[in-house]
Structure 1
Amino acid sequence: MKASVKFILALTVAALLMLAFRALAFTLYVVNGDGLAPELQGGDRVLVNRWSYGLRTGSRDGLFRYGRICRSDVERGDIVAFDSPVDSVGGVFVCRCGALPGDTIRVNGDLILVPGLSTCADENYYWMESIGSGNAIDSRFFGLVPESSIIGRVCMVVYGHDDTKPFYTGYRKGRMM
C-alpha cells in the first residue's frame, strides 16, 4: 500500500473511534449560566459520563422503544446533564437532581423542600434544580424531567472559559481539570 493510503486509512479509523467514544462513553458540554455556582460556573466545559445511568437505547419520540443497557438509578444530589423536556426551550441542561420518584416536592418561593414522605413524582421522573440565581431554568420552569431525557452524570470540569473574552485569553486558571 502507498503511504498516503495508509495515512488516510489511519486517519479515518481514528476519526471513527473518536466519534464512537464521544457518542457512547463521554461527551463535553458547556454550562450556560451560574445556576450551580460556585461548583459550576457559566462557561465551564464539563465531561458527562453517558454510561453513568446506563446507555440510552431507542428514542424519546417513539420511533424506537426507549431503554437503558446496564441501568442504574439517579441519586439525589447528582449533577446531571439532560435534554430539554419541553419543546419551547431546546438544548442540553446541567442541573442538580433535587427529588427522586416518590418524593414530595413543595416550592416555597425560591426554597424547595423535599421531605420524601409521600408520592408526588411519577415513576422515572425527576425534579432538577439550580441552586444559584433565582431566574435559572430548572424544574420550576419546565416541570419534572423524564428518565428518557437524562444523558448522564457530570464527572468533571475539563476547563473554564469566560465566553465574554476572546478564545485565547478567557481561560480561568483555577478551573482546569
Structure 2
Amino acid sequence: MLLVSLTLIFFAASITSLLDYVYLRSNYPAISESIRSLVSQTVVISLVLIIANVINVDWALLSVAIYAIIFKFIDDRYIIPNQKTDKNKKKPTIKDPYLEIAQDLCWFLIILIIIRSFLIQPYRVPSGSLEPTVDTGDFIMVNQFAYGLKIPILHYELFSIGKPQRGDIALFYYPKDPKKIYVKRIIGLPGDHVVYQNKRLMINGKVMPREDLGWYNNVNQFGVPENVKLFKEDLIGKQHNILLKPFTPDYGQTNIIVPKGQYFVLGDNRDNSNDSRFWGTVPESSFIGKAFLVWLSWDANEWRVRWNRIGTML
C-alpha cells in the first residue's frame, strides 16, 4: 500500500504540472497566479479524494495530507517570497484573497486528516445487518478515540482509553479479510460463555430476556417487503431492538467461550447478518471505534434522504 500512496502523490504532482502547462499555453495570461493556484489544488485534491472511494481510504487520505504539506512548504518558501512587496520592499505582502484561500485550504485538509485519522471516522452502512437500529444507507460517525489512540494505517495502539463494551455498536476490520470493514453489536466479552440456539441468546448460562413488540414491516436489500418479528432484547442492562424471522430455520447456532482478547459480535437483524456465529470472534486490535451518531441517511430504493434518521444517537 506504500506504493499506492507514492503513486497518488506522484499523480497529484503530475496533474498540477499539467495544469501549470495548460495555463502557460493558454491565451488568458490575465488570470492571477493565486486563482490558478487555488483551482489547481482544488482539482488535484478532489481527484485524489475520488480515488479514495475506490481504494483503501486511509492511504488515499495520507497521500492528500502529504501532498498538502508539500504544497504548503513550497508555497511558503518559494511562491510567497516572490509575490509583490510593498514600496519599501522590506517584507512580502499578500493582497490577493484567493492565495490566502488556497493556503487555508491546505491547513484545512491537514486538520481534516488529523481528525479523520485519530478522532472521528465516517462510515456508510452498506447492509441491513443492524436493522432496525441502523438502516441500510445510514452514514454513521465513529469515535475512534473510544478504544484507544492508534497510529493510522499501521493500527498500532499508542495508549488505551477504554475497552470495547457489551452493547456497543462497533466498527472493526473483518478478521477473515482485514481490507473489509464491518459494523456489528458487541455481545460477548473475553471469557464469556455465549450460546445462540433456537433464536435465543444466552450469556454465561442466562437467557437474555426479550419483549415481543409485534410484526415489523421490513424491506430487504432487493426492495422486497418482509414481515419479521420485532423484539426488545435486554443485554444485561442494555436494551436494544432486534429482528427475527420466526419461520426461517436457525442456521446460526453457536456455543462458544470467547477467548482472551477476543469479542463476540452479532447483528441486530439476527436472521440477516454475517457475524461471529459464522466466522468467529473479533480480536481487540481489529476494532476501529464506537459508532455514536447517524449524520445522514439515504434510501436508495426510494432515492431520497431519510430526514427523520439524521441526528439519531446510537
TM-score bracket, normalised by the shorter chain, equals 0.7 to 0.9
**Which residue number corresponds to residue 7 of structure 1?**
101
* 2:121 alignment partner, one of 18, 23, 27: 27
CA distance in structure 2 between the aligned counterparts of 1:58 and 1:5, rounded to whole angstroms: 31
Alignment of 1:115-126 (within 5 A): 115=204, 120-126=257-263
CA offsets 1:63-98 (integer angstroms, 9 cap, x no match): x684342331111111111111112x8521111000
**Which residue number corresponds to residue 71 of structure 1?**
161
Is the aligned partner of 1:175 residue 2:309? yes
Q: Secondary structure at the match of 1:96?
A: strand
**Which residue number corresponds to residue 245 of structure 2?**
none
CA distance in structure 2 between the aligned counterparts of 1:86 and 1:34, rounded to whole angstroms: 20
CA distance in structure 2 between the aligned counterparts of 1:10 and 1:106, rounded to whole angstroms: 55
**Which residue number corresponds to residue 103 of structure 1?**
192
CA offsets 1:97-146 (integer angstroms, 9 cap, x no match): 000001012231443322279x9222210001012141311111221000
Of the two, which has the highest radius of gyration? 2
**Which residue number corresponds to residue 175 of structure 2?**
85
CA distance in structure 2 between the aligned counterparts of 1:50 and 1:91, rounded to whole angstroms: 17
Alignment of 1:133-172 (within 5 A): 133-166=270-303, 170-172=304-306
The one-letter amino acid paired with 2:201 is: I
Is the aligned partner of 1:45 residue 2:166? no
CA offsets 1:6-42 (integer angstroms, 9 cap, x no match): 2211111111111111111101111122222221111
- Judged with a 3 Å threshold, the aligned counterparts in structure 2 of structure 1 residues 96 and 10 are, in CA distance, closer, same or farther, namely same
Is the aligned partner of 1:130 residue 2:267? yes
* Structure with the bigger percentage of helix: 2
8 A Cα contact 2:192 2:204, kept in partner = yes
Aligned Cα root-mean-square deviation (Å):
2.3
CA distance in structure 1 between the aligned counterparts of 2:155 and 2:271, rounded to whole angstroms: 37
Q: Secondary structure at the match of 1:131?
A: coil
CA distance in structure 2 between the aligned counterparts of 1:127 and 1:92, rounded to whole angstroms: 16
CA distance in structure 2 between the aligned counterparts of 1:149 and 1:165, rounded to whole angstroms: 35
CA distance in structure 2 between the aligned counterparts of 1:50 and 1:100, rounded to whole angstroms: 19
**Which residue number corresponds to residue 40 of structure 2?**
none
* 1:55 alignment partner, one of 144, 149, 174: 149
CA offsets 1:35-73 (integer angstroms, 9 cap, x no match): 2222111111110000011122476xxxx6843423311
CA distance in structure 2 between the aligned counterparts of 1:51 and 1:41, rounded to whole angstroms: 24
- Judged with a 3 Å threshold, the aligned counterparts in structure 2 of structure 1 residues 143 and 135 are, in CA distance, closer, same or farther, namely same
Q: Which runs of 4+ in 1 moved over 4 A?
A: none
The one-letter amino acid paired with 1:135 is: N
CA distance in structure 1 between the aligned counterparts of 2:197 and 2:205, rounded to whole angstroms: 16
TM-score normalized by the length of structure 2? 0.49
8 A Cα contact 1:34 1:133, kept in partner = no
Q: Secondary structure at the match of 1:134?
A: helix
